[in-house]
Amino acid sequence: MRVGAGAAAIGSAAKVTLLEPVRAMASPRPVPPSDRLRFASIGTGVRGCNDLSTALRAPGVEMVAVSDLYDGRLIAAQEEAGKKLDTTKDYRRILDRKDIDFVIVATMDHWHAKIVEDACAAGKDVYCEKPMTHKVSEGFQIIDAMRKYNRRVQVGSQRRSNVVFAKAREIVESGALGQITAVDGWMDRNDPSGAWVYPVPPDASPQTIDWERFLGDAPKIPFNAKRFFRWRGYSDYGEGLPGDLYVHILTGIYTVLGLQTPPQKAVASGGLYHYKDGRDEPDMISTLYSFPGITVSVRCNLNNDSQGSGTRVYGTKGTLSFDSETSVTFVPQDTRPQPEGYSVIGWPKKLREEYWANWKKEHPAPPLSSLTAVEQSQTFRVPDDYDEDLVHMENFLTAVRTRSACNEDPVFGNWTAIACHMANHSYFNKAEAVWDEQAKTIRM
């Protein structure tokens, strides 16, 4: 993925630059039959249906099979694909097929690692939804499997391929922000859907859902449709707000700052304040992460959305602001030298005035620029039809075809997943979570 040069400067005072999306497959072209890719989806709920239709928008891609645990979703996947597919509730049957090049894994999080490992062992490339793992150890198992079977694996945090974050990285690398010491990221909501209170389909039952298989390694409990459809609220199957939303914020931050390790430490606080519907995950969680020289604060609140979502990267010379994944604004700090005004208040008037007069003599240069910070600020945004999901998927498809590297391989996906696990570790244990790089584990 290359960062396009600013294609057009629109509006002179505002300095808004439209980013040119440079896509792996910018113009659909006929794909020779030898280059056609055949895939299957494993998990075709909300995101799985979205992912399969994204893959089908790329040229030379064909869907041939689907695995899901709920009958309704086997139907939904075929409706989305617009054709009849080979369907099964046992994904291993899909992995046995020799004519499938890659699989999309969009199951609940507690199934990701096992399916990705099995798929790699079966010689399939994999697009796996975020967060990559449910437990810390799984990340290293996935990395081992990818390397052992020489597979291409893309983790599905699409900000990683978004040109806005690549542009922001370029700005950071240019030194324009000076020394970066703090980052804030947040993603807030205030509606039942945002809090995962999804309706349960009327035909949900042990006859239409393979409940035993859904549980997998999770504790064995009787059929519970609410847990199946609202799984994000239960730590047995997901990682709550960190796994659902932090991971997107963190993917952006990791990309922009070029971070390449898990955080050193995390301290989380929050609670289940409002949605007391049986879930065990908090509906508000705020976490302070420590990286060398930088403190990163991340918050998700499901009970007020007045701040929407955003990220701010604070440097000694400027600030980068993202209000969403569609634009980034750089605002310089006014770092022109100023005479001290505050601490000389307690000086005798004569000394104070001499100090100011001397200061002016010693700083004869005019201010660095007559422009205000706002006038110097720059916004870079993507065109209205930019689709980061498609760009991320196309990057994966190129990797499958050419064996090039994926933008978000499991090494990267593991760092952000571990950061999510550290937030939960701290929240549930009410203690600081420390990353132990040697033992590859979180300790307190």
Task: Among 18, 23, 40, 45, indicate the residue that binds ligand NAD (CB under 6 A).
Answer: 45
Q: 395-424 mask for ligand NAD (x: CB under 6 A)? A: ------------------------------
Piece of the chain touching ligand NAD by CB under 6 A; list 15-23, 31-39, 106-114, 183-191: 106-114
- Residue 425 within binding range of ligand NAD, rule CB under 6 A: no
> How far, in whole angstroms, is CA 223 from its chain's centroid?
32
List the 180-187 sheet strands across, edge first.
6-10, 16-19, 378-381, 327-332, 318-322, 309-315, 180-187, 294-301, 284-291, 265-271, 433-436, 441-443
Indicate whether 214 belongs to the interface with ligand NAD (CB under 6 A): yes
Whole-angstrom CA distances from 181 to 81, 184, 291, 323, 427 are 47, 11, 9, 20, 24
Q: How many residues bind ligand NAD (CB under 6 A)?
A: 25
- Choose, by CB under 6 A, the member of 148, 213, 363, 430 that binds ligand NAD: 213
117 binds ligand NAD (CB under 6 A): no
Nearest to 157 by CA among 186, 123, 190, 130: 130
CA angle, 299 then 301 then 307, to 5°: 80
Q: Give the whole-angstrom CA distance, residue 4 versus residue 24.
A: 12
Among 58, 63, 94, 106, binds ligand NAD (CB under 6 A): 106
Ramachandran region, residue 196 (left: φ > 0; alpha: ψ -120 to 50; beta: rest): left
Give the one residue of 67, 251, 321, 395 binding ligand NAD; rule: CB under 6 A: 67
Query: Could you tell me if residue 46 is left (phi over 0), alpha (psi between -120 and 50 degrees) or otherwise beta?
Result: alpha
Task: For the chain, give the longest Cα–Cα distance.
Answer: 90
- Report the residue number, 308 or 339, with the smaller CB distance to ligand NAD: 308
CB of 273 to ligand NAD, least distance (A): 23
Distance of closest approach, residue 102 Cβ to ligand NAD, in angstroms: 16
Choice from 40, 55, 85, 108 touching ligand NAD (CB under 6 A): 108
Please identify which residue in 3, 25, 42, 320 interacts with ligand NAD, judged by CB under 6 A.
42
Name which of 178 and 201 has its Cβ closer to ligand NAD.
201
DSSP annotation string for 144-181: HHHHHTT--EEEE-GGGG-HHHHHHHHHHHTTTT-SEE
Q: Which of 91, 254, 291, 380 binds ligand NAD (CB under 6 A)?
A: 91
**How far is the C-alpha of 192 from the C-alpha of 47, rounded, in Å?**
18
Q: Which is nearer to ligand NAD, 23 or 232 (CB)?
A: 232
Site for ligand NAD contains 363 (CB under 6 A): no
159 is a contact residue toward ligand NAD (CB under 6 A): no
* Cβ neighbours for 11, distance < 8 A, ≥ 6 positions apart: none
Q: Which of 330, 311, 333 is nearest to 320 (CA)?
A: 330
Interaction of residue 315 with ligand NAD, rule CB under 6 A: no
CB of 167 to ligand NAD, least distance (A): 20
Region from 31-39, 45-53, 341-349, 367-375 binding ligand NAD, contact rule CB under 6 A: 45-53
- What does DSSP assign to residue 209? B
Among residues 232 and 377, whose Cβ is nearest to ligand NAD? Answer: 232
Instruction: Supply 225's token pair.
Output: 């449709």
Span interacting with ligand NAD, options 102-110, 282-290, 377-385, 428-436, rule CB under 6 A: 102-110
Gap between the Cα atoms of 311 and 308, Å rounded: 10
Give the ranges where 284-365 is alpha helix by DSSP (H).
349-362
The residue at minimum Cβ distance from ligand NAD is 45
Answer yes or no whether residue 129 interacts with ligand NAD by CB under 6 A.
Answer: yes
Q: Among 61-69, 272-280, 322-330, 433-441, which window interacts with ligand NAD (CB under 6 A)?
A: 61-69
The footprint of ligand NAD (CB under 6 A) covers 42-43, 45-48, 67-70, 73, 91, 106-109, 111, 129-130, 156, 158, 213-214, 231, 244
